[in-house]
Amino acid sequence: MARIERTTEGDNTMDRALASHIARDAAFTNDLDYIDDNLERLSRGSTAKTSEQQKQAAIRDYKTMEAVLGGCDVCFKQTEQVDGSGLLRPPEYPMVALGNRVCLMLPNREPMSDGHCIIAPIEHIAGSSLRCDDDAWDEITNFMKFLLHMFAAQGKGAVFIETVMSTQPSRAHHCAIECIPLPLDMASDAPAYFKEGLLASGDEWSQHRKVIDTMLKDRAVAPDNDNVRDQDQNHQLARNAIRRGGFRNTMTAKMPYFHVWFTPHGGMGHVIENPDRFPPWFGREIVGGMLDLPPTVYRKPRRLKETHDQRCDRAAEWKQQFGWSKFDWTAAL
C-alpha cells in the first residue's frame, strides 16, 4: 500500500513539470490550438525526468521497507539454509493460534493481566489495522468474539486497544490490537473509565471530538426510502437492518488515533492530533488504573528474555489455562 502511494506521486510530478514549462513560456495562451501545436515542446524532458524519479523512489521505498521488515520483531522472517532452501522463522512472541491472515500471540513483555494477548496481521501492516483487507478483518473479528467467549467462561471480560502514533510506513510499528482481560464487574465499567480519560486528554481546543463513538448500529429501512417500493416494505430487504457506524466506517488510517473495543462491534475512538503530547501507553494506563497496577507495568513493561522453547511452553500453558482448544476457530482451517 505504501509502495502504491509512493509510485502514484509520479502523476502529480508530471503535472507539476508541465505547469513549470507553461509558466516559463511567455507566449503561452490558454488556447487548445496553441497547446496542441506546442505540446511536444511544453512536455519535453518531463516524461524522462518523471520516469527517473519514479525509479529512484521505488529503489528508496524498497530499501526502506527492507530495513523496516528486518527490524520488525512481529513479522515472520525468511532465513536461508545451508542447502539454499528457505526457512520461515516465527516472530519472537509466543504463538497461540495462526489464521490465514491474522495470528494470536502473547506479549513478549510483562503482561498487564492474566490472559493478556495480542491480535496482529501476519503480513507487515504498518500502523493502523484499518489498512487490513476484509479477509483479515473477518479473522480479527473472529479472534475478538472467541476471546470474549473464552474469558466469559472464566468469569472475566476484556477490552481490545490499538494505539497508532504514526501513519508513515517507515516509522509506524507493525499494527497490533492488545486484548487485556478484566474482572467482569470492571469490564462493565470500562466505557466510563475510558470516556473520562479521553475527555481529559489532549488540548482543551481540538478539531475533532475527543470521544468518537464507533459502536456499530442498526437502522431499519425507512418506509419512505426511494430504494424500497411500498409493496416491498414487508420484504426481507425492508426488514433487514442497515449497518451504520463501526470502527472501520468512523476512524481513518490517515491520522494517528487511539481506539478501544468493548465488543467486536466497536467502542470509542480518539484522533491523536499531537502525537508528541499523547502518551503511547494511554490505553494501558487506563487499564492499569482500574487494576491498581504500578506505572512500570503499563509504561515500560519488562521485556521477557525467552528462548524459542520457552516461548512455546508459555503459549502451551496459556492454552491449557484458559481452555483455548474449545474456542480455537483456526483449528477448522
Count CB neighbours of 73 within 10 A. Answer: 11
Together in a domain, 19 and 52: yes
- What confidence category does residue 256 fall into, taking pLDDT thresholds of 50, 70 and 90? very high
d(CA 51, CA 14) in angstroms, rounded, equals 9
pTM (2 d.p.): 0.77
Instruction: Kindly report which listed range (54-58, 102-106, 155-159, 246-250) carries the lowest average pLDDT score.
Output: 54-58
pLDDT of residue 308: 92
Number of domains in the chain: 2
**Is 66 a domain residue?**
yes
Q: Please tell me whether residues 31 and 119 are part of one structural domain.
A: no
pLDDT of 188 over the 70 cut:
yes
Q: Where are the beta strands (DSSP E) in the chain?
A: 77-80, 86-89, 95-98, 102-105, 117-121, 156-164, 177-183, 212-213, 216-220, 241-245, 257-263, 266-271
pLDDT in tens, 69-115: 778 889 988 777 667 666 778 898 999 999 999 999 999 999 999 99
**Structural domain boundaries enclosing 324:** 93-214+251-332
- Could you tell me if 47 and 132 lie in one domain? no
Statement to judge: residues 67 and 110 lie in one domain? no
Q: What is the CATH number of the domain that holds 290?
A: 3.30.428.10
Question: For residue 81, is it within any domain?
Answer: no
Residues 177 and 262 in one domain: yes
* Whether residue 152 is found in the same domain as residue 278: yes
Weakest mean pLDDT among 42-51, 144-153, 256-265 = 42-51
How confident is the model at residue 205, as a pLDDT?
A: 72
Q: Do residues 197 and 60 share a domain? A: no
Q: How would you label 213-240 residue by residue, b for 16+ Cβ within 10 Å and e otherwise?
A: ebbbeeeebeeeeeeeeeeeeeeeebee
Do residues 198 and 211 make contact, with C-beta atoms less than 8 angstroms apart? yes
Mean pLDDT, residues 186-192: 96
| 246 in a structural domain | no
Give the residue among 96, 79, 97 at the shortest CA–CA distance from 88.
Answer: 79
Instruction: Note whether 59 and 168 are same-domain residues.
Output: no
